[in-house]
Amino acid sequence: MKVLITGGAGFIGHHVVDELINKTDWFLTIIDRLDDSGNLNRLAELNLPKGRVKFIYHDLKAPFNDLLMSQIGRHDYILHLAALTHVDRSIEEPMLAVMDNVVATCNILDFARKTGCEKFLYFSTDEVFGPAPPGVQYKEWDRYNSGNPYSATKAGGEELALAFHNTYKVPVIITHTMNVIGERQHPEKFVPMTVKKVRDGELVTIHANKEKTKAGSRFYIHAGSVANAVLFLVGKGEVGEKYNIVGSREVDNLELAEMIADSQGLPLKYEMVDFHSSRPGHDLRYALDGEKMAKMGWAPPEDIEHSIRRVVEWTLLNKHWLIN
């Protein structure tokens, strides 16, 4: 079997590469442009076996010409993980998100249409549904209510994927994934940034409601668990369907920071900040319903407590993934 992975040098992408290398005998082709999020050092640290992984440098904003299509060739599965995922950057320059998340998605879908594949997985986000009121967990086909250009462009990519399925019979599967943690994450993200601040005795900012009494919350999930779900869906996912990939339980950002501090045996110095009111486009709570995947027989391989301990220990041993 041959698998094409876009964004394979990215944070989640390299965990998917690791999962497929260790759990299958498939041959992988990685497409990445190696920008702010793509980093070949992630792949280098995986010690990938020779002969099973090919790397193609390409910016998906550009269409695939005939020569490039010939060099890449047909693949059984295409996993489209490449995206601009930085919310602040999408707010500051929305057209960047349009190009990376809509135009690029159209180009890889068109590649799939022309070359063919057995399954095309489009990797979307919980943010397409917008903020979730208390007690609400969105199901796969609920309406969109994008709160920022990032989520809007991911929703646009979803609709393009469905359109290519309906029009050209591209065998699309769509996933929504909640906030992901794990090894080799960009140091600007909350978990590695908090690991460093706790280690150095610095103040941790906790995004909260207007009254600064309730922290924002997510169903955090480890990237390895996400990769496990991707492999599960490649085998058992139904073409034309959507699936939520959800962590074991909801955790607010203060509790998450406390877990990180406890894992280091250090106190947490924190400040609750009403970031969401001052910066439109940042939502306090996201929540997805994971019942569909659970009924199919999938659950996260580990809970959030174990994931946090593992990530904190690894990060402290691999300080080159932090900004000193």
Q: Which residues are catalytic?
A: 126-127, 150
Contact 52, 21 (CB under 8 A): yes
Q: Of all residues in the chain, what percent are helix, strand and coil, respectively (each to 5)?
A: 45, 20, 40
Quote the CA–CA distance of 206 and 216 in Å, as a whole number.
Answer: 8
Distance CA 312, CA 295 (A): 32
Round to whole Å and give the CA distance between 34 and 266.
Answer: 36
Q: Name the amino acid, one letter, at 181.
A: I
Q: Are 180 and 190 in contact (CB under 8 A)?
A: no
**Distance separating alpha carbons of residues 266 and 201, to the nearest angstrom:** 8
Determine contact, residues 38/27, Cβ cutoff 8 Å. Answer: no
Three-state secondary structure call for residue 48: coil
∠ at Cα 303 (49, 306), nearest 5°? 70
Which of these, 243, 251, 189, 192, lies nearest to 219 by C-alpha position?
Answer: 251
Q: Where are the alpha helices (DSSP H) in 49-189?
A: 66-72, 87-92, 94-98, 104-115, 149-168
CB 126 within 8 A of CB 145: no
